[in-house]
Structure 1
Amino acid sequence: MKKFMLFCLLFTFLTSCDYVLKKKEINTMVKIDSVPELGIAIEKDKNGCIKEAGYKWSIIKDNCIRISDEGYRLNPIDDLGNLEPSKSAYVLLNDDKLKAEVFLQDLPKSIYFSRKSKSEDFLKNNYKLSIQTGYTLSVNDSIIYRAAETAIKAVVGSDVEEK
């Protein structure tokens, strides 16, 4: 019986030491390492640009960009006052303005232009981009896009100039 009591006492002592020596977690919340997949397909192009978020690959920037944020907007010649960006073309120039990139909504890739001097127009196949007298894009010598018209509108009544 003494051996049994000694064994019980020893078992209780070791068990209580194990409890005392363990770190107690204050936060009992369960941490989840990852969010379960939502089943949303994200389509990326061959360069890793997310199309649904409006990103396209830029040769000039050598990165994915949102053309509407970084490009100069051109509108169709028959609708220059258009406020709908989905019909617009966008032009991106490098720092020395010897290279240009045009993004058209109908084309999956941009049109990359280069020129030797700033006095020349950009030419590529049947496309011509002119920036000397306002931005224009021509196809087969017919202007199809021109710089978008800017409209300055009053935000509040005090923005309107009194004459």
Structure 2
Amino acid sequence: MLLAVGTLCLMAGCSSKVSSSKGIVSDATMNTVTIVTDKNDTLSFSTMDANKEEVNGLLLNDTLEVFYTGKYTPGMPATKLVQYPQSPLVGGDRDEHGCIGSAGYVWCEVQKDCIRLFEKGIRTEAVDDSDTSAFIVFSPDSTQLELFFSNNQPNEILERRSLPSGGYAWNVEDDDTKNVRLIDGLWTISQRDKLIYTQKAGS
């Protein structure tokens, strides 16, 4: 009997591992919550059956830790929520540009403003299954863009250039430059003619 259960679990990918993710609440309803982690990953959960004993009056921009069982998938059920309410001192972590990191804001050079990447940026995913991402943020006139990486690479600013075949690419005059282009309706980032990040369809 135990062997049969084990075989079923192996076939179905059963997992009893409890994991947690911590981030800033960007959206919340009676039965769902969405957080943005410090790596700018946007994660959504069903909270219908979650233990909410450590949650009291959840607000946008609160910090929330979500516990769940198994591998994360969008909309999966949370097992427990732990809330870290905003402190009266929120804002005390302003950087040299006045951006409040605890509320998810970072300085964007091409927009000359504090922004939240999940609001202003276009998210692309690494094609090498490394679970890293890059956000593309355009200047107001689109002549420049800034790349933000989840793996702590330095930001890069690229310039818009016209292509002989029509359309535009954003890069710099450097053999090792990254190239940003819109291909078949999806934003892509390549380097030395090799695709390294691409936008997911529907995102």
User: TM-score when scaled to structure 2?
Assistant: 0.45
Determine helix, strand or coil for the equivalent of 1:68: helix
Contact 1:58 1:110 in 2 (8 A): no
Cα 1:61–1:38 shift into 2, 3 Å: closer
2:199 corresponds, among 139, 147, 158, to 147
Q: Which has the higher contact order (CA 8 A, sep 6+)?
A: 1
Give yes or no for contact 2:121–2:136 (8 Å, CA) kept in 1: yes
2:190 is the counterpart of 1:138: yes
1:115 is paired with a residue of what secondary structure?
strand
1:100 is the counterpart of 2:145? yes
**CA root-mean-square deviation:** 3.1
The answer to which structure has the higher strand fraction is 2
Q: In structure 2, what residue type is equivalent to 1:121?
A: A
Taking the TM superposition and a 5 Å limit, the aligned residue runs for 1:58-73 are 58-73=108-123
Quote the residue 1:89 is aligned against: 134
Instruction: Answer 1 or 2: which has greater helix percent.
Output: 1
Q: How many residues align?
A: 110
- 5+ residue gaps, structure 1: 1-36, 152-163
CA distance 1:40–1:88, change in 2 (3 Å):
same
Q: Secondary structure at the match of 1:91?
A: strand
Report the secondary structure of 2:189's partner residue.
Answer: strand
**d(CA) in 2 for partners of 1:64, 1:39:** 19
CA offset at residue 99 of structure 1?
A: 1.2
* Matched residue, 1:51: 101
Unpaired runs of 5+ residues, structure 2, are 1-86
Encode CA deviations 1:63-112: one digit per residue, 9 max, x unaligned: 100011111110111349x7xxxx32111123443211111123375311
Partner amino acid, structure 2, of 1:91: I
Structure 1 stretches of 4+ with a deviation exceeding 6 A read 37-41
User: Percent same amino acid among aligned pairs?
Assistant: 25
CA distance in 2: counterparts of 1:47 and 1:116, whole angstroms:
29
